[in-house]
Amino acid sequence: MLWIAWKMLVGNRVKYLGIIFGVLFAALLIAQQSSIFCGLMFLTVSQIRDVEGPAIWVMDKNVEFIDDIKPLPDTDLFRVKGVPGVDWAVRFYKGLARARMEEGDFHQMILLGLDDATLIGAPEGLFMGALSDLRKPDAVIMDDAGYKQIWPGEPFRLGRTFEMNDRRAVLVGITKASRTFQTFPIVYTRYSSAVLYAPRERKVLSFVLAQPRPGLAAEEVCQEITRQTGLQALTRDEFMEKTIRHFLAKTGIPVNFAITVLLGFIVGTAIAGQTFYLFTVENIRQFGALKAMGTSNWTILMMVLAQGAQVGVIGYGLGVGLAALFGWSSRGLTKLAFFMPWQVLVMTAIAVFLIVLLASLLSIRRVLVVDPAIVFRG
């Protein structure tokens, strides 16, 4: 009988495609908007992700997210180093600097200061220059997206100079880096240089990056650091989670995306539900005939649900596929943030399931109450 249900469904091409379109539209919108939302959230933690070596980030206890810098005194580095279970710890500067270019224009930049001795926190994607050149006087490395933003259309060239806080900076390397939420160029330099490029402040240490001794869990060492120093110590993953939670709770981004997702859900449900209902009404005499011939209500119910499931699976596959295609095709062409984790696929599947269920409910009610004697009425 499920085969008959399938034949009935595909036999009405226009309605069949209409229902699939409704589900497809909803799945596409939900998956695409959710992926852009995830992409944006991913951008907020890009600088934590790019610092791959240390497992622990230590910061002021009131820091809420990566850009919420509350400088520490330099002596906090030694306090962290003195905590049992800490293998090593280094300084890390993060701040904003205003750069004056050779052409006279100004650009806001994200300034990252790496430990002078170890250069821990250095970018992994250096493709022009050498990391060791960062030890030269006034040396800085810039991310390729920032370079293109400042010098659009110009080829990559090392040796360019600009000023930050009236101090000379020389470009010695260009690297790949994850895009940031603010989309400012990222400049890497040594910690000792960074504090000179930055506006003068009494305290300048942004973070202490630390590593637990081998065999110790980072979470336990974090608790020990907090207990002994009063500072906030988080694992890399915890810090990313905290940053994302901040953006979720304190900005309107989730609400805006939720509205779009909800809209997709409602419009998809409306299109699919209405078309499916019309399809059922058009076939009501056929359903009545099947009931008259001895098809039980349970079988009829299964038939309608099977029809709904079929369009749901196809609509979901096409919608998610198109969303993925959209993300893939836009990856180099636009600055669109797009990240489709498995959770988006699951959430979209649940939404599609609900759409199909809602769409089917109307039809189910209609076919279950239909009197099999309808077939005797001309």
Handedness of CA 100, 106, 107, 112 (dihedral sign): positive
Q: Which residues of 86-122 are buried (b: 16+ CB within 10 A; e: fewer)?
A: bebbbbbbbbebebeeeeeeebebbbbbbbbeebbbb
Instruction: List binders of another protein among 296-335 (CB under 8 A).
Output: 296-297, 299
Give me the least distance between CB of 277 and another protein, in Å please: 19
Closest CB to another protein among residues 249, 293: 293
Those residues with Cβ within 8 angstroms of residue 74's Cβ, 6 or more apart along the chain or in another chain: 91, 203, 204, 205
Closest CB to another protein among residues 189, 283: 283
Decide if residue 165 touches another protein (CB under 8 A). Answer: no
Member of 101, 292, 324, 358 binding another protein (CB under 8 A):
292
Decide if residue 202 touches another protein (CB under 8 A). Answer: no
Give me the least distance between CB of 375 and another protein, in Å please: 5
Closest CB to another protein among residues 248, 374: 374
Decide if residue 375 touches another protein (CB under 8 A). Answer: yes
Member of 15, 97, 291, 307 binding another protein (CB under 8 A):
291
Member of 262, 281, 289, 318 binding another protein (CB under 8 A):
289
Closest CB to another protein among residues 169, 300: 300
Provide the Cα torsion 39, 43, 48, 53; round to 10°. 60
Of 134-142, 144-152, 158-166, 368-376, which segment contacts another protein by CB under 8 A? 368-376
Member of 85, 121, 129, 288 binding another protein (CB under 8 A):
288
Decide if residue 263 touches another protein (CB under 8 A). Answer: no
Measured CA to CA in angstroms, residue 155 lies from 128, 146, 159, 324, 333 at distances of 12, 13, 13, 32, 18
- Residue window 11-50: x/- pattern of binding to another protein, with contact defined by CB under 8 A: xx--------------------------------------
Member of 215, 294, 332, 369 binding another protein (CB under 8 A):
294
Give me the least distance between CB of 304 and another protein, in Å please: 15
Member of 295, 318, 330, 353 binding another protein (CB under 8 A):
295
Decide if residue 4 touches another protein (CB under 8 A). Answer: yes
Give me the least distance between CB of 284 and another protein, in Å please: 11
Q: Phi first, then psi: give them for residue 192, nearest 5 degrees.
A: -65, -30
Give me the least distance between CB of 24 and another protein, in Å please: 22
Decide if residue 8 touches another protein (CB under 8 A). Answer: yes
Provide the Cα torsion 207, 211, 217, 218; round to 10°. 10
> Is the separation of the CB atoms in 72 and 225 below 8 Å?
no
- Binding interface with another protein (CB under 8 A): 1, 3-4, 7-8, 10-12, 285-286, 288-297, 299, 371-373, 375-378
